[in-house]
Amino acid sequence: MESSQSKRSASFSEQTSQPLSEKDMEELQSTLPPDKKLKAGREYIWNRKSKRKAEYWKYYLEYVENGKLRAECKFCPKTFAADGNLNGSKNVKNHAESCLGNPINIEKEKGKEKQTKLYFDQEHESSELKCGSRIINLNDVREALIHMIIVDELPFKHVEKSGFRHFVQVACPQFHIPSRVTIARDCLKLYYSEKEKLREMFKTCQRISVTTDTWTSIQRINYMCLTAHFIDNDWKLNKKIINFCPISSHKGEAIGKAVEACLEYWGIDDKLFTVTVDNASSNDVACAHLSRMVRRTGCINDGKNLHVRCIAHIINLIVWDGIREHGVCIDRVRNAVKYVKNSPARILRFKDLVQKANIDSKSSLSFDVPTRWNSTYIMLETALKFRRVFSGLSLPDGEDLNDNERPPEPEDWEKVERLVLFLGGFYLLTKRISGSHYVTANKGLGEIASMYDMLNNWEQSEDLNFQAMAIAMKKKFDKYWGDVDKMNKFIYVALLLDPHSKMVIVELTLTDMHGPEKGTKLANDVKEFAYSLFEEYRKMYATSNIPYCGDNMSMDIDNSKGVGSDYVRKLKERAKRLKGTSGYAISELDRYLNDQLGPEEEEQDALTWWGKNGQRYVILNRMARDILAIPLSTVASESAFSTGGRTLDPFRSSLTPKMVQALLCTQDWLRAKEVPIVDVEENLKELEEIEKEVQRGESNDVDDEVVFVDSLV
């Protein structure tokens, strides 16, 4: 007796022995969504009098594959075994009720996800609980999880850790935690989504300045990072990483071509304004390549001021030259700090001596990183506060030690004190100039002049060592900034476009640096360059709705055809030629330079002022948007002090270059503002105070306040 399975198989073969006609295929196609197509070569079954009674079967196409019946979802690519005798219909039914491609399920899901939940919120000033309602959207929870993974630089497998799963189970039990594979996929989807948003933003922006930097993975793969800086229509400064890709060579031509390819991909090659790079010779070649590109695509000032040298990098080189002059006293302090921190017993002894000496300081001793001079400065500054304590310790000493390994002597501490004072100015200067979330272009000339003044003062020092240090640093300064022609002229114009400075501060600064005669001549050159630049912008952006006239003399062309109109028009043209440029150009720029700030405007930063007053200067505000967006540093503040390269962490180094780019770019796009770096050494003091409070019973809420610091020490 034949089994039901063999009978069922026979019926399939009879049904599919005759392929569907072309008309049947067209009719079957008409039952599908517009974006769904029948797959060529697939043996579909279409029986208008189907015995399938369940409602969900209308969402499937049936076909035979290798003699077995299968069902294909009409709204997504998923397929299922569909022989009722062998497979059942549970999977088919469940998918029909959950497929998010089905319009019916989308409506159902909206209702489910936006279910209102009760919550209790504790008042800050009392222990009372306030009852309220909140809409929990599980899709929002999942998006927040992806945001956390990217912004906090967590590995994908973080979602599989037991602690995280326990937290989610308590905080949101109805949320299904995705696998690490799904997390990786969602991160890529978010990257592509955010990239399209940025592409649309680029279409509305004016000009873009870029910076380049290099990173290295632990596999020694070199990456090039390209960051775009621009001011949007709301006068907000934007910093967006637009490329993070492997680069095969550090030669200038290769870097230039890589930058050009990226700009073309984003469609902003015709919007490039400046390129800020460090002082490597290869970057000179790269900027020369990009200068040729912008001359083809169109640029301001024919690309002559495209190249901007990183001020933070130059300051770094100058400071390192100075530090070398004081290697002995720095080494002695470093060895003393190392001696204390290498033993728990010595640390306790050190703390006891600090208490006995009544030294009130929250600072803790810290090591320095050899490649980061700011850490050396912080180490010296902190150690200086405890100089009396070091004298009470039995630091190693003996004839067998080298000179730089001996304990610090009083003369060493005096040198360190002056060195800290000296380096403190450069430390603050570097932090100010390397910010990426506020405009720095208008600060460049002032910071350079400030450094010049510091070096001049230290050259007159009575201490011969400090005098030698200042002279060495001054030589490096003169190499990069001693010749005005080597500096980008946009730096001068940026200070002029700062409403708090204008031309007066530019002239005074140049006079202080170069003397009255040369300074005045340079100031006049800057003013002439500003006028020529403004005229270029006027020709580029002048439109019919912008008045083409001065304040005292109308330059509008009378289009009436009355008697003498041609003569009047020619007369006005002659008047414009006598002025050397349009009456409007002279009027608007002069008006800006002569206008005084009101009391309410004196506290506004440059961007805020232009955002509120830009409509008064129709052309000049476009020029300000481009020039004020120029970054003076290629690196973020935490890397501005380092001579070492920037290195990818082990997690990112283990990823493919495409995934590395997706994570780093998306992280940069999602971060609303610069995330401060946590200084663990400084936090230890606070944690110790919390421990003491708990032990003394001074904390009102012990359970919430206890913090264990073993993992941080």
Helix H, strand E, coil C: the string for 88-151 is CCHHHHHHHHHCCCCHHHHHHHHHHHCCEEEEEEECCCCCCEEEEEEECCHHHHHHHHHHHHHH
Q: Are 141 and 153 in contact (CB under 8 A)?
A: no
Return the residue matching tokens 């264990």: 708
Whether residues 481 and 621 fall in one domain: yes
Q: Are 237 and 629 in contact (CB under 8 A)?
A: yes
Q: Are 42 and 63 in contact (CB under 8 A)?
A: yes
Which amino acid is it at 546?
A: I
Q: Which residues 6+ apart lie within 8 Å of 324 measured at CB?
A: 472
Distance of CA 342 to the CA centre of its chain: 37
Q: Is position 509 within any domain? A: yes
Dump the DSSP string for 643-687: SSPEE--HHHHTS-HHHHHHHHHHHHHH-SSPPPPP-HHHHHHHH
**Domain final position from 370, 397, 424:** 424
Residue 402 pLDDT: 79
> In whole angstroms, how far apart are CA 559 and each of 506, 548, 552, 573, 575?
42, 14, 20, 14, 18
- Distance in angstroms (rounded) separating the CA atoms of residues 272 and 295: 10
Residue 696 pLDDT: 67
Q: Are 247 and 258 in contact (CB under 8 A)?
A: yes
Q: Are 390 and 336 in contact (CB under 8 A)?
A: yes
Q: Which residues 6+ apart lie within 8 Å of 609 measured at CB?
A: 499, 601
- Pairing outcome for strands 79-81 and 68-73: antiparallel
Whether residues 318 and 420 fall in one domain: yes
Q: CB count, 10 Å around CB of 164?
A: 15
State pLDDT tens for residues 298-350: 888 888 899 998 888 888 888 887 777 777 888 888 888 888 888 888 888 88
Residue 457 pLDDT: 85
Whole-angstrom Cα Rg for the chain? 35
Beta-bridge mates of residue 341: none
Whether residues 521 and 625 fall in one domain: yes
Any alpha helices (H) in 478-559, and if so which ranges?
A: 490-496, 502-514, 516-541
Q: Is position 327 within any domain? A: yes
Q: What is the DSSP letter of 315?
A: H
Q: Is the pTM of this model over 0.85?
A: no
Q: Is position 412 within any domain? A: yes
Q: Is position 361 within any domain? A: yes
Whether residues 387 and 485 fall in one domain: no
Distance of CA 660 to the CA centre of its chain: 15
User: Two tokens at 124?
Assistant: 């800050």
> In whole angstroms, how far apart are CA 325 and each of 232, 321, 413, 473?
46, 7, 15, 10
- Distance in angstroms (rounded) separating the CA atoms of residues 367 and 370: 9
Q: Which residues 6+ apart lie within 8 Å of 48 measured at CB?
A: none
Whether residues 537 and 623 fall in one domain: yes
Residue 636 pLDDT: 55
**Domain final position from 367, 391, 424:** 424
Look at residues 488, 446, 454, 487 and name the one whose alpha carbon lies nearest to residue 473.
454
Whether residues 532 and 627 fall in one domain: yes
Look at residues 504, 645, 585 and name the one whose alpha carbon lies nearest to residue 221.
645
- Distance in angstroms (rounded) separating the CA atoms of residues 338 and 335: 5
Q: Is position 168 within any domain? A: no
Whether residues 441 and 518 fall in one domain: yes
- Pairing outcome for strands 208-216 and 646-647: parallel
Q: Which residues 6+ apart lie within 8 Å of 462 measured at CB?
A: none
Whether residues 537 and 403 fall in one domain: no
Q: Is position 371 within any domain? A: yes
Q: What is the DSSP letter of 481?
A: I
Q: Is position 50 within any domain? A: yes
The tally of domains found in the chain comes to: 3
Report the interhelical angle of 410-433 vs 444-459 (nearest 10°): 160
Residue 109 pLDDT: 57
Q: What is the DSSP letter of 408?
A: P
User: Two tokens at 648?
Assistant: 């990818």
- Pairing outcome for strands 68-73 and 307-309: unpaired
Residue 113 pLDDT: 46
Longest dimension (CA), the chain: 116
Which amino acid is it at 157?
A: K
- Distance in angstroms (rounded) separating the CA atoms of residues 432 and 13: 79
- Distance in angstroms (rounded) separating the CA atoms of residues 357 and 362: 14
Helix (H, G, I), strand (E, B) or coil at 211: strand
Residue percentage of the chain with pLDDT more than 70: 77
Q: What is the DSSP letter of 688?
A: H
Instruction: Give the alpha-carbon dihedral of 280, 281, 282, 287, to 10 degrees.
Output: 100
Question: At residue 214, what are phi and psi to the nearest 5 degrees?
Answer: -120, 145
Residue 156 pLDDT: 92
- Distance in angstroms (rounded) separating the CA atoms of residues 426 and 429: 5
Q: Which residues 6+ apart lie within 8 Å of 528 measured at CB?
A: none
Whether residues 616 and 498 fall in one domain: yes
* Residue 529 exposure: Cα atoms within 13 Å on the Cβ side: 21
- Distance in angstroms (rounded) separating the CA atoms of residues 384 and 418: 11
Whether residues 380 and 468 fall in one domain: no
**Domain final position from 71, 105, 139:** 105
- Distance in angstroms (rounded) separating the CA atoms of residues 390 and 408: 9
- Structural domain boundaries, residue 376: 311-424
Number of H helices, E strands in the chain: 28, 12
Whether residues 518 and 378 fall in one domain: no
Whether residues 333 and 408 fall in one domain: yes
Residue 46 pLDDT: 75
Distance of CA 236 to the CA centre of its chain: 14
- Distance in angstroms (rounded) separating the CA atoms of residues 363 and 689: 13
- Pairing outcome for strands 208-216 and 68-73: unpaired
- Distance in angstroms (rounded) separating the CA atoms of residues 629 and 419: 34
Residue 646 pLDDT: 58
Give every residue of the chain whose pLDDT is below 50, as ranges. Answer: 1-17, 111, 113, 122-127, 129, 544-563, 578-585, 637-640, 642-643, 674, 676-682, 699-713
